[in-house]
Amino acid sequence: MAGSNPNAKPMDLTLKVWRQKDRNTPGQLVTYPVKGVSPDMSFLEMLDVLNEDLLLKGEEPVAFDHDCREGICGMCSLFINGRAHGPERGTTTCQLHMRHFNHGDTITIEPWRAAAFPVHKDLVVDRSALDRIQQAGGYISVNTGGVPDANEIPIPKTIADKAFDAATCIQCGACVAACKNASAMLFVSAKVSQLALLPQGKTERKTRVENMVAQMDIEGFGACTNTGACAAECPVGISLENINMLRREFIAAKATSENV
């Protein structure tokens, strides 16, 4: 079957892929040539091709996380040539296509690097720290049933849109991987902002920000030094404004905190 672009020529590439047996074994970059890569392939489909080759040779395929391959589930990761999710802005690795590379290129592929994201195997890391931060307060305390009619809570469109922008975070962890301090501030601030902006979330805004930030520290994420690398590399464009909002929320909460 031909591709959408009949003039696109297949490429030969050299991959340098991080291989690591498990959490406790040191890893290393291993070089693999891949031939005949179609520019219409996605980056992960290119890795599928490599893995089929490895399997046929009886070698273990490269383990990497991925699921929806539509840029929304946040499961894929990969540090490609020193960039979280590769060279294209606003794009997850699964939506990155090989037409952005050239014949003869060498591509280095590493896992997310952060103390809070230990490597499970090869390119697969443990991001459960992000779930634990959400569990510390990333919710509005309502039980199922017994809630008011949806239209009894009018929300100005500008506020709703702003909350939405923050809510688009896909929890992939690229912000952490891109940050030289491995800070999770952009991720945490997105959730804090979304819920602090909405009237439904205001009741718990103080405890939420305190608890989520405390959990972030417990997990071993670094401090934020405002480099902005996180927002630059975020595949869904979460804005640095959220970090400002988190700081305001945090200071306001601490100033009047009931937690001693």
Give, as ranges, the residues between 187 and 206 that touch another protein (CB under 8 A).
Answer: 194-195, 198, 200-201
Residue 28: CB minimum distance to another protein, A: 18
The backbone torsions φ and ψ at residue 34, rounded to the nearest 5 degrees and listed phi first, read -125, 135
Crossing angle of the two packed helices 157-167 and 185-197, in degrees rounded to 10: 150
Residues of this chain, 214-233, that bind another protein according to CB under 8 A: none
Q: How far apart are CA 85 and CA 234, in angstroms?
A: 9
Q: Angle at CA 221, nearest 5°, toward 220 and 226?
A: 150
Cβ proximity to another protein: between 226 and 237 the closer is: 237
Which residues in the 24-63 window bind another protein by CB under 8 A? 38, 40-42, 44-46, 48-49, 52, 55-56, 58-61, 63
Q: Which long-range contacts (CB under 8 A, 24 or more apart) does 45-50 make?
A: 46/13, 46/98, 47/109, 50/15, 50/17
68 counts as binding another protein under rule CB under 8 A: yes
CA-CA distance, 86 to 42, in Å (whole number)?
A: 12
Question: Which amino acid is located at 213 in the chain?
Answer: V
Give helix then strand counts, H and E, for the chain: 8, 7
Residue 74 interacting with another protein (CB under 8 A): yes
For 48, residues 6+ apart whose C-beta sits below 8 A from its C-beta are none
Q: Is 69 in the site for another protein (CB under 8 A)?
A: yes
Q: Which of 103, 115, 164, 251 binds another protein (CB under 8 A)?
A: 164
x/- track of binding to another protein for residues 87-116 (CB under 8 A): ----x---x-x-x-----------------
The 117-156 site mask, x for binding another protein (CB under 8 A), equals ---xx--x-xxx-xx--xxxxxxxxxxxx-xxxxx-xxxx
Considering only residues 17, 43, 50, 71, which one is a binding residue for another protein as defined by CB under 8 A?
71
CB of 202 to another protein, least distance (A): 11
Minimum gap (Å) between residue 14 Cβ and another protein:
19
Count of residues touching another protein (by CB under 8 A): 82
CB of 248 to another protein, least distance (A): 19
DSSP three-state, residue 130: helix
* Alpha helices by DSSP H, the chain: 43-56, 128-135, 157-167, 174-178, 185-197, 205-218, 229-233, 241-255
Specify the residue, 8 or 231, whose C-beta has the smaller distance to another protein.
8
Report if residue 70 touches another protein, rule: CB under 8 A: yes
- Mapped onto helix, strand or coil, the DSSP state of residue 8 is coil
- Judged by beta carbon, residue 97 or residue 227, the one nearer another protein is 97
